[in-house]
Structure 1
Amino acid sequence: MQKLSIKLGLIFLFIIFGLEIFMFFFLHSALVDSRVEEELIALQTRGNSHRDILERNFDRMTISHVALMESEANTDVVVTDENKQILDSSVAPSKIDKYIQSNADAVLEDEIVEDNWKEESYIATVSVIRGDAGGYVYMFQNTASIHSLIERLNRHFLVTGLIVIALTIVIIFFVSNALVKPLNKMKAATAKISKGDFSVSLPETGNDELGELSKSIQLLADDLNYLKQERTDFLASISHELRTPLTYIKGYANIVQNRELSPEERRHYLTIIKEETERISALIKDLFDLAQLDNNAFIINKEPVELYDFIRKIDQKLTPAFEEKGLKLVLFCPQRVYLLADPLRLEQIIYNLLDNALKYSENEGITKITVKTDNNDVLINIIDNGKGIPSADLPFLFHRFYRVEKSRTRASGGSGLGLSIVEELIHAHGGTITVQSRKNSGTEFAIKFKGALLDEDNLTR
C-alpha cells in the first residue's frame, strides 16, 4: 500500500467507480421510466384505435370483435357503456373491476387510469367513446411483462457494469504505471545524485508537470556535475599555481643556503624568491576576494564617482606601461558623468581589463576606453586590436582558472582568476559585462552599470 501506483490506482478506481454507479442508476431509472411511458402511450393509442372503430359502429358484433382481437394479444380490453357497465371484455372482470370502479366518476378525456407498475398487476388507460351511445374503452397490460423487461434490462446493465469495471481497472493500471514510471526513474536519478553520481540521463516526458520536473532534475544533475568538475579543476589549478612558485622558492632558498654565492648571485636568487612570494600572495588575495564574493561577504562602499577624472587617473598610471611596450592607450569620456560605485573596486575592474589588453596586444597596438550614457545607464567599453580570443573560448572566459593559452609561460600572465573577479565585482555593483572578440582582430569588453546622471546633486543613492 506504500506504492504510489497502487494509491493512484485505488483513488482513480473509487472515483470512477462512484461516477459509474451514479451514471448507471441514473441511466437505468431513465430507461425504465421511458419504457413504461412508451408502454402507456402504446396502450392509450391502441385503446384510441378501438374507440374510433366503436364510435362508427357501436353494436354487439363490433364490441365482441374488439374483445376477440385483444384476447389474442398481450393486452386486454374492456368496453363499458356510459354508466361503466361492462359490455364485453378479453379478461376476467374480477381481475380488472377495481380499476374501473376506482374511476367511477364520469371521464371526460382520454387518460391513464393506473401507472403504478411496481405494485399493481396491471397498468391501464381509458378512451372515451363519444356520440349518441357513449361509453369507454379500457385497455390493460399485465405488469409481469414490464417486470420481465426490467429484469432483462438489469441483467444487461450488470454485465455491462462488470465489463466497464474490468476495463476501468485495466486502464487505471496502465495509466497509473505510465504516471509512476517516470517518477520511479526520477527517484532512481535522485538516489544516484545523493550518492555523488551526477551522470544521470532522464528521458523527455513532454511539456507537462512531470516533464518540467524531469527537466529540473536533469538540470540539477548537470549543474552539480559541472560544479563537481569545476571544483576538481579548481583544486587542481590551485595546487598547480601554488606548487610552481613554492618549487621556485624552495629551490632557490636551498641554493642561497647551501652554496657560496657572490653578493650579485645572492641578490638575483633572493629577487626571484621575492617575486614568487608576491605571486603566491597575489593568488591568495584573489582567492580570498572570490570567497568573499561567493559568500556575499564582499563589502561594496558606493559613492558618487566622476568618471572623467577617475579614468584619467587610471590612464596616467598605465600609460607608461603601454608606451614601454609600444602601445597606445586612448580615452574617450565626457565630463560630469557620475556613477554610484566603489572607487577601489571600479579601479580594480578597469585595471584588470586594461592589464589583459596590455598583455595580449602587439607593438603599435591601440587600446581604447570609451564611456557614454544611455537612458541613465553608464556604458564602459575597453577595446583593443590585439591577438583576440577564439570563439570556442568565449563562453568560458570568465570561469575561474580558465586560460585561453593553456601552455602560456609564467611571464605571460597570472592565475586565470582576474576575469572571474571582474565579473563578480561588476555583478556586485548590479552591472553586466559581455565580450566580443575575433582571432587576430582584437577584443571588446562592454560593461553596463545602471544609474548614471550628469549631475552629482541628483544622483540617486
Structure 2
Amino acid sequence: MRTLYVRIVLTFVGIAFVSGMIGLLLTSLYYQDQLKTDNEEKILKMGESIRSLYEQESEVKLDKYLEGVAALGFQIYAVDESLTGRVFGRAFKHGVLNEAEIRAVLNGDVYHGMREENRRVKIFSLFENSVRNTVGIPLRTKEGKAALFVRPDLEAQIGGIRVIVAVLLGFTFLTSLVLIAVSTRYVVKPLKDLKKATQQIVKGDFNVGLEKSRNRKDEIGDLADHFAIMAESIGRLDRMRQEFVANVSHEFQSPLTSMQGFARAVLDNQATPEQIERYMTIIERESRRLSSLSTQLLRLASLDREDRRLHVESFRLDEQIRQVLIALEWQWTDKALNLELDLPEAEIVADAELLHEVWLNLIANGIRFSKSGDTVSIAIREEDGDVIAVDVRDTGAGIPEAEIPYIFDRFHKADKSRSHSASDSGSGLGLSIVSKIVSLHQGTIEVESQLGEGTVFTVRLPRL
C-alpha cells in the first residue's frame, strides 16, 4: 500500500513530467507557426549570400571556397551535373536526396527541405542532422551547373549552448525532485501527526499533543486546531460519561443498600413494630426518590435525542406558573414562606409540558433551600418585545461562588455533605433538565447568587 507521502511525490513528479510534455508541445506549435518560416528564410538568404559571393569571385575554386564557408559553421552538400556529391564541413548523419530533387535544383528550382519535414514535434526538426533538412539552391560554376544544399552546423555554432541548456534542464529537474520530496514531508508530517492523534484517541488517550501543527497559519494548522478542540471535547465527554455512570450507580446503590438492609431486618424479625414502621417509611421514601431519579434520567435521555421535537402550542405563561405554585402549595406553606408574585398576562408559543418542568424545578429549588419565613418571588417581564423573561428569586441559603459555573452539570450538588436520605436532598439532575429544556426553546438561563442572601434564576424565552 502506498503511503500518502509516496502518492504526493509521485503526483508532483507526474505533474512535472506532464507539464514538460505540454510545454514541449506548445513550444513546437509556436515554432511551427511563428519561427519556422523565418528560420527557413534566414537560411535561404545565407545560401543566396554564399552563391552571390562565389559568383563575384569566380576565379576562386569552388571546393576551396566551400571549405572556407563550411569552416564558418555550415554544413554543405554540393552536387554537380553528373550527380556526384561532396560534403563540406561536418558530415550529415541522416537522409538521402533522390535524383528528382537534385535535378530540380540543378535546373534552377529551390529545395525547401525544412518545409517538407513532417515531424509530430516540429521543434526537433530544427536539430536533425540530415541532408534532407537543408535548403537547396542552384549555382553556376566554370565546370557547369551545381546544386548546393546548405544548413547551419548547429553543433559548431551553438553546441556549447545546447549542452548548457541540457545540463540546466537536467539539474532543474533533479532539484525539483529533491524539493518535491522535502516539501512533501513538510505537508505530510502534520497529517501523520493527525493520524497518530486519532490512534491515541482510539486507545482512550485524548491528550493528542498537536501544538506544533496548531501553530501553522494555513488550512492544516486550522485542521490541527479543530482536531485538538474536538479531542478535548471528546475527552471532556468521556470524563462526563464516566462521572455520569459513577453518579448514577452511586445514586441508585446507596438507597438500594439501605432499603435492602431495612427489608432484611424486617424479614428476619429483628425489629420492633415501631422500628418496622420507621423502616417501611424510609423504604417508601427511598423508593419514591429512586422512581423520581429514574423519571429524570428518562427525561434527560429524551431531551438528548437529536430528533427531539417540541410540541409547541400557544398558552398563558402566567397561568402555568400559578398552577405550579398550587401544586407546590403544601411545601411553601409548610415552611411559612412569603410569596411575592408579579405575573402579568403573558401569551407564549412553546412546549407547555416541558416548560412546566422548568418552573417546577426552579420554584421547588427556591422552596427547598429557603428557611422558614424567607421569601420566594416570581416575576414575568417583557424584553425588547420578542423576549419574555421570568425571574425566580429566593432569600435562602444561596450558592457558593465557586460552584455557580457547575450548577447545570448533571449530578452536581453545591452541598455535597447533605445526606442522600434527607428529605430535601435532590438528585443533581433538575437544573440540567432545566438548562436543556431552555436550550431546546432557543432561550437562555442565568443565575446570580450570594451565599447566605439568596439566589435568582432568570429564564429568557423567545415568543416563537
Counterpart in the other structure of 2:174: 166
Q: What is the deviation of 1:367?
A: 3.0
CA-atom RMSD in angstroms: 4.3
Q: Determine which of 182, 186, 201 is the counterpart of 1:178.
A: 186
1:229 and 1:365 mapped to 2: Cα distance?
Answer: 38
User: Secondary structure of the residue that 1:348 maps to in structure 2?
Assistant: helix
**C-alpha distance in 2, partners of 1:444/1:20?**
74
Structure 1, gaps ≥5 residues long:
45-74, 104-115, 124-141, 453-461
Provide the rounded CA distance (Å) in 1 between the counterparts of 2:395 and 2:50.
Answer: 113
The residue number in structure 2 matching 1:191 is 199
SS across alignment from 2:206: coil
Query: Would the aligned equivalents of 1:303 and 1:341 in 2 still touch at CA under 8 Å?
Result: yes
CA distance, structure 2, for counterparts of residue 389 and residue 149 of structure 1: 96
Residue type matched to 1:161 in 2? Answer: L
Give me the whole-angstrom Cα distance separating, in 1, the residues matched to 2:184 and 2:457.
Answer: 54
> Per-residue CA shift, 1:114-168, capped at 9, x if unaligned?
xx99845899xxxxxxxxxxxxxxxxxx965654233222211110111111111
Give the CA deviation at 1:344. Answer: 3.5
Instruction: Give the whole-Å Cα distance in 2 for the aligned partners of 1:396 and 1:390.
Output: 11
Measured in 1, the distance between the counterparts of 2:166 and 2:51 equals 36
Deviation, 1:9, is 0.5
How far is 1:169 from its partner? 0.8
Q: 8 Å contact 1:9–1:173 — kept in the other structure?
A: yes
Give the TM-score, by structure 2 length: 0.69
**What is the number of equivalent residue pairs in this alignment?**
391
1:405 alignment partner, SS class: coil
1:402: which partner in 2?
412
Counterpart for residue 413 of structure 1: 425
CA distance in 1, matches of 2:454, 2:50: 110
Structure 2 partner of 1:2: 2
Which residue of the other structure, out of 263, 276, 280, is the alignment partner of 2:290? 280
Letter in 2 for 1:414: G
* Structure 1: distance between partners of 2:431 and 2:109: 106
SS in 2 for 1:406: coil
2:446 counterpart of 1:435: yes
Offset at residue 283 of structure 1 (A): 1.1
CA distance in 2, matches of 1:16, 1:172: 10
1:156 aligns with 2:164: yes
Alignment-mate amino acid for residue 339 of structure 2: L
Q: Distance in 2 between matches of 1:298 and 1:250?
A: 37
Asked whether the 8 Å contact 1:77–1:90 carries over to 2, the reply is no
Q: Cα–Cα, structure 1 residues 89 and 6, in superposed 2: closer, same or farther, change >3 Å?
A: farther
1:247 CA drift (Å) = 2.1
Q: Partners in 1 of 2:450 and 2:27 — Cα distance?
A: 78
Q: 1:241: Cα distance to partner?
A: 1.0
| Structure 1 partner of 2:99 | none
Superposition map of 1:321-332 within 5 A: 321-325=331-335, 327-332=337-342
The answer as to 2:359 corresponding to 1:389 is no
For residue 86 of structure 1, the aligned residue among 47, 51, 56 is 56
Q: Is the Cα–Cα contact under 8 Å of residues 380 and 390 in structure 2 kept in the other structure?
A: yes
User: In the aligned structure 2, how far is the partner of 1:356 from the partner of 1:287?
Assistant: 18
CA contact (8 A) 2:362 2:392 kept: yes
Measure, in 2, the Cα distance between the counterparts of 1:279 and 1:418: 13
| Counterparts of 1:28 and 1:170, CA distance in 2 | 29
The answer for the alignment partner of 1:47 in structure 2 is none
> SS at 1:446's partner residue?
strand
Find the aligned partners of 1:182 and 1:303 in 2 and give their Cα distance: 52
Q: Which residue of 2 aligns with 1:59?
A: none
The Cα shift of 1:170 comes to 0.8
Which AA in structure 2 matches 1:312?
A: R
Which piece of structure 1 moves more, 248-257 or 16-25? Answer: 16-25
1:338 maps to 347
**Deviation of the 1:418 alpha carbon:** 0.8
- Whole-angstrom CA distance in 2 between matches of 1:341 and 1:144: 93
Instruction: Report the residue type matching 1:181 in the other structure.
Output: K
The offset of 1:78, in angstroms, is: 5.5
Q: Name the SS of the counterpart of 1:413 in structure 2.
A: coil
Structure 2 equivalent of residue 210 of structure 1:
220
Cα distance in 1 for partners of 2:389, 2:271 equals 55
How far apart are the structure 2 equivalents of 1:151 and 1:238? 88
Deviation per CA, 1:353-401, whole angstroms, max 9, x where unpaired? 1122223345554333222234333322223344443454334322211
Q: Is the 8 A contact 1:431 1:447 kept in 2?
A: no
Percent identity of equivalent pairs: 27
Question: CA separation of 1:170/1:266 partners in 2, compared to 1, >3 Å: closer, same or farther?
Answer: same
- Structure 1 residues 436 and 148: alpha-carbon distance in aligned structure 2, compared to 1, 3 A threshold: farther
Distance 1:275 1:28, change over 3 A: same
Contact 1:354 1:382 in 2 (8 A): yes
Q: Find the aligned partners of 2:5 and 2:306 in 1 and give their Cα distance.
A: 45
Q: What amino acid sits opposite 1:235 in the alignment?
A: V
| TM-superposed deviation, 1:332 | 1.6
Distance between the aligned counterparts of 1:231 and 1:435, measured in 2? 25
What one-letter code is carried by the residue in structure 1 that aligns with 2:360? Y
Distance 1:76 1:442 in 2: 114
TM-score normalised according to structure 1 size: 0.70
Larger deviation: 22-31 or 348-357? 22-31
Give the deviation of 1:22 after TM superposition.
5.2
Q: Is the 8 A contact 1:200 1:218 kept in 2?
A: yes
Out of 363, 366, 373, which is 1:357 matched to? 366
